Structures are given as C-alpha cells and as structure tokens.
Copies of this chain bind each other. A is one copy, B any other.
C-alpha cells in the first residue's frame, strides 16, 4: 500500500488502512455453497454480510440475554483467516483437520497488520467464535451453519448431492444449530427432513 502520510501520529491510521486493503481479499475466497437462486458459488465476504444481517433478523431466536451486537461482530470477522487459509468444506474431515494450523498462522499475520490493541481485540473475536464457549459464539455459529442449509434446501439440495453429503451428516450439523438456538435448530431439521422427502438429500 502507499503511505500517504509520514507524521508518526498517523501510523495508527496507516496500519488500519493496510488492514482494510488486505481484507478486501475476502471477496475472492469462494465457498462451496451456492446463492439461494443457484446462479453461482458464494464468496466469504458476502456470506459474512449475510450471516451478520441474519443475526439482526433472527436475534429473538437466541437465548435471552445474548448480546446480539457482539454476535454481529463475531460474524463480520469470523472468516477473515480464510484470506490465507481458504474456505474449509465442513463435510471433508481431512480438510477440517489440516485447517487449524493454517488458520492460526493466518490470524497471526492478518490481525497482526492492525495496531496491537486492536489486532488483539479482533483476534479475540475470531477465537471466541471458534471456541463456541459463549452464547454469542454459539448463536453466531448456529447462523453460520443455518445459512447453507437454507440455501441447499431452496436449490434442490445444492451442495448436498453435488458432494455426496448424507442426511446423517447434515443432521450432525443441525445439532450445532440447536446448541445456539433450539428454535432455529428445529426449523433446520424440518428443512432437512423435507429435503430428504423430496429426494434432494439421501439417507
């Protein structure tokens, strides 16, 4: 990036701008799943917008007391490590196992572009999301899992038949949704069973 100023008090802004330029790359990380109209695969930036906005729309399905603004923050940063580490297909166990180290290194580099205090704070959001130990992280992860099920259900199975994903595997992911939101979990399970009944997802 070009450093347009040299005054030391502006180093902080320059670091933030370097980060801003870097994270634009998330728009070029392509996920397995498709848009709901089936027209193309989704990228991780628009996915992050989608689930962040879902947090505002579906927030009443989180346990009482969940800090929804923190859920939004978790979701906006949750995929940034994919800029280096790529998207992980959650139904591929080999991919999932190899991913942890790559994502840790990515977090080091990408959040490291920010001023120290700020990089630390954003990195903590990412770690909180991954750990799923808070109601906020569990609800955020639930939305992250809910969105592809919604899209697949509305695109005749979408990535399920394409990657030979079985109903039992999807039901396992539904459990993660239930942990964050019982009502969204129940809804997701209905979508799964309907998809099975329609022949878009096999047992």
Contact = CB atoms under 8 A, between A and B. Distances in A.
Contact of A53 (B61, B76, B194): B76
A152 interface: no
A28 B21 contact: no
16 contacts: A2-B153, A4-B194, A5-B187, A16-B57, A21-B36, A24-B35, A24-B50, A25-B36, A26-B46, A26-B49, A28-B37, A45-B49, A49-B52, A52-B72, A56-B122, A72-B73
What is the total number of copies of this protein in its complex? 2
Contacts of A69: 69, 72-73
A13 interface: yes
B16 A58 contact: yes
A101 B195 CA distance: 40
Contact of A37 (B25, B43, B73, B118): B25
By secondary structure, the A interface counts as: helix
Interface string A174-198: 0000000001000100110010000
A54 interface: yes
A170 interface: no
A150 interface: yes
Nearest to A73: B56
